[in-house]
Amino acid sequence: MIRGRVDKLTILKEIGDFIVYQILGMKWLNELIGNLIQWIFGETFANSTWGEIIQYFFYDFIKIGLLLCFLIFIISYIQSFFPPERTKKILSRYHGIGANALGALLGTVTPFCSCSSIPIFIGFSRAGLSTGVTFSFLISSPLVDLGALALLTSIFGYGVALTYVAVGLILAIIGGTIIEKTGLGKHIEPFVTEGIDIIIESQKLTFKDRLIYSKDQMLSTYKKVVLYIVIGVIIGAVIHNLIPEAWIVSALGSNNPLSVIYATIIGAPIYADIFGTIPVAEALYAKGAGLGTILAFMMSVTTLSLPSLIMLKKVVKWKLLIAFIGIVMIGIIIIGYAFNGLEYLFIN
Amino acid sequence: MIIKVLGTGCPNCKKMVANVSQAVKELNIEATIEKVENIQKIMAYGVMRLPAIVIDGQVKTMGRVLSCEEVKKYLL
């Protein structure tokens, strides 16, 4: 009996490993590119630093591109069921921390581009949603991305990816709740609420409409982020092959007590897509940077950026903007230290 | 016909205006194209996804850059 159970578990683990390493991680692709380089340029070049940099670049670039296109398509299809008009309607029925939790969850599935953040902010406020709930939505939307979940799984495995999503949602819920309870939420520009809530029906979409929408989203997202991916992968390839491990360990390893704070502060003003950030994170991690440090960097880059803060400033006053930055940064720093402290639980 | 393109001036919104102008020109119809960038005016339509297109006071699409061909369907 016991024997049979163990066998079943082993099989499940093998299937899991296959998904993580071969389907999401695409280890076969790495070997294929390695063999191609060797075949074209010869063994000496393939094993040189430049050969390895080129192999790493193409492997990571193609892997992220394929995953991104596949994921954006699936995700856009799901998102087409949750336009902001519908999210607004759902959220306006709830109050208290439940509303914050729902706001954070809907943030992950509502399609959202940075140029729509202002209309969404105003639309939600005019529908009577509290500023705290709107902030829960605005924090989780860029932070907990379904695509990021799959990419994180491909690099760090399920444990880290699911924990990332969980702590991201908690940060969004707590951040929004603090803004609510401290009364900071009332520091918004008066014009935001001066105006009536206009309810328009979202367009009825057919199956074909949703497929067209998903395809459009896939292509436009890929075009938008391809530059970030190239830059991210180049930086990643350089870190992977040229920067000595000892440097990274001493600056960003979990033994450096300030590493998480550095990573969060450096990441905040940078504007990059999460898909561009992941290759850098992957390379830093392979070279001994702390897990929490890397996650803090990624969270900081995606949630806070100069362009999005400038946008937000149009609808909120300084006091609320600074509180928002402070809450998010402190939250990220706490998450970073927690992950560094518990790293041994995730990695075996 | 009055066509309004709602958008805060991001590249997508500009592309939308160009596609609309192209469609009007190709169909050779009488239409005024107006770009609405003021957020208060945009919100008066209840639109939360940009760019959006409003034809004779009616919101037709939101959150998507329409191609020239797609715009034509709404104009005919």
Structural domain boundaries in chain B: 2-75
What is the pLDDT confidence band of residue A331, given thresholds at 50, 70 and 90?
A: very high
Q: Output A221 or A36, whichever has higher pLDDT.
A: A36
User: For B47, which residue in chain A has the nearest alpha carbon?
Assistant: A119
Rounded to 5 degrees, what are φ and ψ at A136?
-55, -40
Task: Assess whether pLDDT exceeds 50 at residue A40.
Answer: yes
Residue A81 has pLDDT above 90, yes or no: no
Which CATH code is given to the segment(s) B2-75?
Answer: 3.40.30.10
With 90 as the cut, is the pLDDT of residue A101 above it? yes
Per-residue pLDDT band at A111 (split at 50, 70, 90): low
Is the predicted pLDDT of residue A1 greater than 50, yes or no?
no
Candidate list B3, B5, B6, B13, residue with the active-site label: B13
CA A100, A102, A103, A105 torsion: positive or negative? positive
Q: Note the pLDDT of residue A113.
A: 64
**Taking every pair of C-alpha atoms in chain A, what is the biggest distance, in angstroms?**
70
Residue A119 to residue B64, Cβ atoms within 8 A? no
Query: At A175, is the pLDDT very low, low, confident or very high (cuts 50, 70, 90)?
Result: very high
* Residue A269: per-residue pLDDT: 82
pLDDT at A99 (0 to 100): 92
Who among A84, A85, A123 is closest to B43 (CB)? A123
User: Which of A107-116, A167-176, B46-55 is predicted with the least confidence, judged by mean pLDDT?
Assistant: A107-116
Mean pLDDT score of chain A, rounded to an integer?
A: 84
pLDDT at A112: 63
Q: Read off the pLDDT of each residue in A306-331 and give the average, rounded to a whole number.
A: 90
- Residue B13 known to be catalytic: yes
Instruction: Find the mean pLDDT for residues A214-242.
Output: 84
How near does any CA of chain B get to the CA of A8, in Å? 48
A243 and chain B: CB distance < 8 Å anywhere? Answer: no
Question: Looking at residue A2, what is its pLDDT?
Answer: 52
- Across the interface, of B8, B44, B59, the residue whose CB is closest to A115 is B8
For B9-20, write each residue's pLDDT tens digit: 777 788 899 999
Please state the ipTM of this predicted complex: 0.84
Has residue A3 got a pLDDT over 70?
A: no
Q: What average pLDDT does range A265-293 have in this prediction?
A: 83
Q: What is the mean pLDDT of each run of 10 residues along chain B (76 residues)?
A: 87 87 90 88 86 89 86 87
Alpha carbon A63 to chain centroid distance?
Answer: 17
In this prediction, residue A159 carries a pLDDT of 83
Rounded average pLDDT over A196-203: 75
The single residue listed with the structure tokens 């180049």 is A234
